Every structure is written in C-alpha cells, then in structure tokens.
Amino acid sequence: MRNDEPIEESAPEPELPESLARDLARLCGEAPPVPPSVDAAIALAARRRLAGIRVRRRALRWAGAAAAAAAALVFAVVLSRPRVQGDIDGNGRVDILDAFALAREIEARSDPRRDRDLNGDGAVDRADVDLIAMTAVNLDRGAFR
C-alpha cells in the first residue's frame, strides 16, 4: 500500500501479535531509574531558570511603569507650564523669532490657527505679528535692565 493512497474507513485496524506487544510493553513500560542527585540538580536548574524569568518580568514591569510615570510627569509639566502669550515656537520666551514664525504661518496658510489671534480682534493678521514683536522689544524685558 502506497502512502498517498487513501485509507478506506472500513479497513480494520492492524493488530500486533500478542508476543510482540508484550515485549514492547516491557521495554517501554518501565523508566530507567534516575539517581536522586540528578533529579535534584534538574529541579534546581529549573527553579533557577524560572526565578530568572520572574526577575526579568518584574524588571520589565517596573521599567514600563517608570516610563509611563516619566511620560505622565513630562506631560503634566508641559501642560502646567504657564503659556507665555506670543510664544509661538514654544521655547518659553517671546522674541522676534515668534513674530517671524507667525508672519510665515500667515503667509503660508489661508486659514491660520484661531489661537494665534492674540489681540482678540477675530482675525489672525499682521496686527498679531506686531503685537508679538512689540512684546519682544519691550523695555521691561532684556538683560540690561
């Protein structure tokens, strides 16, 4: 019978001769004796490996928690930082580069962001750019005060 030929469902299960089945059972039935020292060594190695996995898992869990906490802290700091009016580039200070950034934004977009309407006149235009620039050159600021 070739392997690729379909097996007929009605074909009877082949049976081993009784003597062969008995000999096979005797050979496989009894496991060779394992010395207790080998048994203990295997158990110890397994315990160590499992302990290592547990430590790595715990470390990974802590690292994940620490990363999440750091991200939350950064997010909170960024959100809680008082937003300086006119700080378009978000570097924490207002200088001519903020006015320049808004001027470029107005030139580039037909519909600039509404939150750029710094003077509250309903339009984002050159007046807002001028407001930022005048904030930048205000004498109450600067190093030589």
Partner 1 sequence: MNACISVLCAWSFLAAGPARFEAIDIEIEAPDDPLAAYQIELFDRSGRMQIAGVEGGDPAAFREPPYYDPRALRESRIVLAAFSTSEDLPRGRIRVARIHVMIEGDGEPEIESRLVVAATAGGREIRAKLIIVKGERV
Interface residues toward partner 1, by CB under 8 A:
89, 95-97, 99-101, 103-104, 107, 130, 133-134, 136-139, 141-145
Q: Minimum Å distance from CB 81 to partner 1? A: 21
| Closer residue to partner 1 in complex, CB, 68/134 | 134
CB within 8 Å of 137: residues ≥ 6 apart: 96
Q: Minimum Å distance from CB 140 to partner 1? A: 8
Q: Minimum Å distance from CB 83 to partner 1? A: 19
Side chain identity at 8, as an amino acid letter? E
Judge contact between 82 and 92, C-beta under 8 A. Answer: no
Judge contact between 37 and 45, C-beta under 8 A. Answer: no
Over the range 73-93, which residues count as b (16 or more CB within 10 Å of their CB) and which as e?
A: eeeeeeeeeeeeebbbeeeee
Q: Minimum Å distance from CB 144 to partner 1? A: 4
d(CA 133, CA 109): 20
